[in-house]
Chains A and B, each alone.
Chain A
Amino acid sequence: MDTFIQQLINGLSLGSVYALIAVGYSLVYSVLLFSNFAHGGFLVIGGYICYFVLRSGGANIWVASIAALIGAGVSAIVVERLAYRPIRERTPITLYMLIASMGMSIVIENIFVVTVGGRFRALPPVIPTDPVNFFGLATTSAFDILSLVTAVVFLAGLQLFLVKTKWGLAIRAASYNLKTAGLMGVNVNRLISIVFFVAGLLAGVGGIFLSVRYTLYPQLGMITTKAFVAAVIGGLGSLPGAVVGSLILGVAEMLTAGFISSQFRDLVVFGILIITLIIRPTGLFGKSVGEKV
């Protein structure tokens, strides 16, 4: 029983970080109907900004985090302007944007390989990782709890943004139909920039937490493959779906590794994906296109 609770906590904390990234995938998908595979790149950008501000600037974690989130958000806007907008303006076929995003993800990764090098970098111990005992039942690290809490805070913030603000309303409108929203007077380009900024910002949060947990290196964005799978399981375009999918995936991974064998881990992950797609092709929460956000 102890082991089960322990593995469950491990799984939830892993799932919560997936969730931050998966939500970014879903957000972009809900508006533009394509999966932005460069998303992992924003995570890496956020991680490196945080690292360099902390190391060279001598700043504290708050300053570094804010710089990282804004930096990741802005770079997402830049990528959209450079790579996706020209395509978006020429063709309605989103497949080309998908391919462009794969290219951008390689570009971002290699920019880091060339400029800062492929070595592993560890963030200074800004986030406590001491073991925390749960009523003698399980031991987890303070970091796991913090990452779970942060994910919840940011996801709640996103929900508020979407429900309470004018731009949130515009995004929700655009997710029904981007063209019509444009005809109704929504500045579509600005709207898309905002969507990318928010997605990049969330990736930046994920980037900081993943760099603390798994160290920072240019290929760290690879981790987003799992987050993408989680978003698909939850239903691409659905934010609650992305969260639920991530938690399912995190827990499934840990339980598989803990009770069957770690070598079955990816098999189970992709097995769940395939089964979900067979039973519910739109994912768990993917409903009709109209209710995506």
Chain B
Amino acid sequence: MRSSRALYLFAAPALALYGGFFLLPAVQGLRYATTDWDGYSPAFHDVGAANLTDVVTDDDLFRHALTNNLKFLLVVVLGQTALALLLAVLLAARSRGSTWLRALFFLPTVLSSVSVAFIWKFVYDPNFGLANAVLRGVGLGRFESAYLGNEGTAILWVAVAQIWFHAGQMMVVYIAGINQIPGELYDAARTDGAGRWQQFRHVTWPMIAPATALVVAYTTLQSFKAFDLILGLAGNPPRSSLDVLATRIYSTFANSQLGYAAAESIVFMVAIALVTFLQNRAARVAHG
């Protein structure tokens, strides 16, 4: 009995903070989603489910942001996972220079997103930028682009910046996973005549499945939350070609439509839950 009371006592501050700063605002968010509150007026009106219905069925800007978010997510998850894995496989073994290379690839992770946005703005600038200068330099000037100004592909260029930003972090997770693999497995594979590719396919890849699950889950969440890098690269407000769910909700709030922003947040939350659920299912299927 005494230990149970002590348990409640120690949990009380955390529960109070969690309740006060997460649960209660979340419940209030649900309430505001049914109003036309602008965020500062003393009065507001109930609109029922109209906000939610509009978000889901009649809002091209939100739908466009969702599409962008999914495109961004797909490119970042695939690109970042593949790059991190490649770097980890190449640099996992302790060799001369590998420590420096690891540090080099990890370096972007320690930068602030504002700095990363600044760097990539310079890379992507159509007139003064590095990307077009390199293309011109190697005689591929015909492929010069406006990058962030391309309506259909702008979000993919932001995804490239995001991959550069975080791949090093995921590389560390993979290196940790690879270093956990017993050396005897590789010895046995080599004895059986397995080459480097076969060792990777039949030993490394299956053994780092937990690390892959972690990398994919983390990258998915990170991609859904993408906000500051996009604002840094695209400006505030970003135009629709670069709008994702987080920036859309922010813009709606800034447009003095807090009730509608709350409804968008609910749909955002449901989208995250759905993607997480599908991802877990896929992971379960993949691992039997």
A binds B: no
